[in-house]
């Protein structure tokens, strides 16, 4: 497979997953704010945890619901907004039309056009946001189902799968980080109804509430971290995502599982093995935010290694053949 084709498929699925997870990311805050007084509502955490605070403050100057929702959802100048991600996903899909099914192209194209139309309505930030973000998540799930039903299990399929699960792992860390940054008014509230309400919202935003309740009798921070970080069976848990990403990486290279033939496999294998043996107590000893920050850095390192292994070197080979 040509490097540019693999690169386009990889990023097409990363951008689709990023759009869905940004919807989940904002949805966390929307759900948390519903039961909090206006004076206690916080919107800055969503921007700080994405690392876009300098750009946001330069352009908007004030953190409020309207500005943050617009910036993360409809802002074409923000490369990580839902609208921008879907535009980039569609452009990548357009360049590899021969590698994906017509059903996938048609669904992705409609998905982008729906969001673009919403962005052009008067005061788009005032529409029914709960239904809108639900539509984003459902459309992303539809694309995932179409991919599984219509795409051959070749290198292209596994590059798409690799991008999807790495992006999902990263965004699950950020969904958890939202809860970390939205501090309780009083330390005495920890474990009380407002704390449980906030953690429940995090679970629902990760579509994890029902599966969590089948596994644990009580909603506690330790149980939630165990489920969303260390669980190897729930599809949105970070550990599960790394296992699936590593499996596709080995299918691409042909190397046996639990070995490595390149730096991407080595870095991803090391990160996956860390979670194989990690315990919640280890995470809390480091600090939840610090641990999540370290995970994000390591996931970025894996992404860089994938680029260097599969995309940069092959591009240089293609140039040398011209």
- Reported as a pLDDT band with limits 50, 70 and 90, residue 204 is confident
More confident: 134 or 51: 134
Q: What's the rounded Cα separation, in Å, for the pair 255 and 158?
A: 14
Q: What's the rounded Cα separation, in Å, for the pair 1 and 54?
A: 39
Residue 271 has pLDDT above 80, yes or no: yes
Q: Which domain holds residue 181?
A: 3-321
Q: Could you tell me if residue 287 is left (phi over 0), alpha (psi between -120 and 50 degrees) or otherwise beta?
A: left
Q: What's the rounded Cα separation, in Å, for the pair 266 and 264?
A: 5
Percentage of the chain exceeding pLDDT 70: 87
More confident: 108 or 184: 108
pLDDT for res 198: 76
Mean pLDDT score, 239-266? 92
Give pairs for 290-299: CB < 8 Å, separation 24+: 292/173, 292/174, 292/176, 292/177, 292/180, 295/169, 295/173, 295/238, 295/271, 296/170, 296/173, 296/174, 298/267, 298/271, 299/166, 299/169, 299/170, 299/173, 299/271
pLDDT for res 313: 53
For CA atoms 30, 71, 90, 307, the dihedral sign is: negative
Residue 60 has pLDDT above 60, yes or no: yes
Residue 318 has pLDDT above 60, yes or no: no
The number of distinct structural domains making up the chain is 1
Residue 43 DSSP SS3? coil
Structure tokens at 174: 């950020």
pTM of the predicted model over 0.85: yes
Q: 190 with 199: CB under 8 angstroms?
A: no
Rounded to a whole number of angstroms, the distance between the first and last alpha carbons of the chain is 17
In Å, what is the CA distance from 226 to each residue of 47, 240, 275, 290? 26, 12, 11, 16
Q: What's the rounded Cα separation, in Å, for the pair 45 and 34?
A: 16
Backbone angles phi, psi at 254, to 5 degrees: 85, 0
Mean pLDDT score, 24-31? 80
Percentage of the chain exceeding pLDDT 90: 63
- Reported as a pLDDT band with limits 50, 70 and 90, residue 37 is low
Question: Among the listed ranges 196-205, 236-245, 266-275, which one has the minimum average pLDDT value?
Answer: 196-205
Q: What is the mean pLDDT of the chain?
A: 87
Q: What's the rounded Cα separation, in Å, for the pair 64 and 69?
A: 8
Q: What's the rounded Cα separation, in Å, for the pair 109 and 221?
A: 40
Q: 230 with 57: CB under 8 angstroms?
A: no
Burial of 153 (0-12, 13-18, 19+ CB in 10 A): exposed
Question: Among the listed ranges 36-40, 95-99, 314-318, which one has the minimum average pLDDT value?
Answer: 314-318
Mean pLDDT score, 150-171? 95
Query: Element (H or E) spanning 184, and its range?
Result: none
Structure tokens at 156: 């292209």
pLDDT for res 182: 60
Q: What is the pLDDT of residues 81-140, one digit of tens each?
A: 999 999 999 999 999 999 999 999 999 999 999 999 999 887 654 458 888 999 999 999
More confident: 120 or 234: 234
Mean pLDDT score, 182-204? 66
Residue 223 has pLDDT above 60, yes or no: yes
């Amino acid at each position: 497979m040509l490097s540019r084709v693999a690169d386009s498929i990889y990023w097409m699925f990363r951008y689709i997953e990023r759009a869905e997870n940004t919807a989940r990311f904002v949805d966390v805050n929307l759900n948390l704010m519903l039961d909090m007084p206006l004076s206690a509502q916080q919107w800055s955490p969503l921007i700080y945890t994405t690392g876009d605070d300098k750009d946001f403050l330069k352009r908007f100057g004030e953190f409020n619901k309207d500005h943050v929702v617009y910036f993360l959802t409809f802002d074409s100048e923000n490369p990580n907004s839902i609208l921008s991600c879907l535009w980039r996903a569609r452009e990548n899909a357009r360049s590899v039309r021969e590698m994906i099914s017509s059903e996938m192209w048609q669904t992705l194209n409609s998905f982008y056009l729906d969001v673009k139309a919403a962005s052009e309505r008067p005061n788009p930030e005032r529409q029914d946001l709960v239904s809108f973000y639900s539509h984003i998540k459902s459309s992303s799930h539809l694309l995932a189902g179409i991919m599984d039903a219509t795409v051959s299990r070749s290198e292209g399929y596994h590059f798409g799968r690799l991008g999807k699960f790495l992006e999902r792992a990263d965004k699950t860390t950020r969904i958890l980080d939202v809860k970390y940054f939205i501090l309780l008014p009083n330390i005495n509230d920890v474990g009380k109804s407002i704390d449980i309400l906030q953690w429940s919202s995090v679970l629902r935003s990760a579509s994890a509430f029902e599966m969590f309740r089948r596994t644990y009798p009580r909603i506690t921070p330790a149980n939630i971290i165990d489920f969303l970080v260390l669980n190897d069976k729930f599809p949105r848990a970070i550990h599960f995502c790394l296992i699936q990403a590593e499996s596709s990486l080995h299918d691409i290279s042909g190397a046996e599982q639990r070995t490595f033939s390149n730096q991407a496999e080595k870095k991803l294998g090391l990160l996956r093995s860390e979670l194989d043996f990690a315990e919640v107590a280890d995470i809390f000893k480091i600090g939840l935010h610090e641990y999540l920050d370290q995970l994000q850095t390591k996931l970025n390192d894996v992404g860089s290694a994938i680029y260097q292994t599969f995309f940069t070197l092959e591009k240089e080979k293609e140039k040398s053949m011209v």
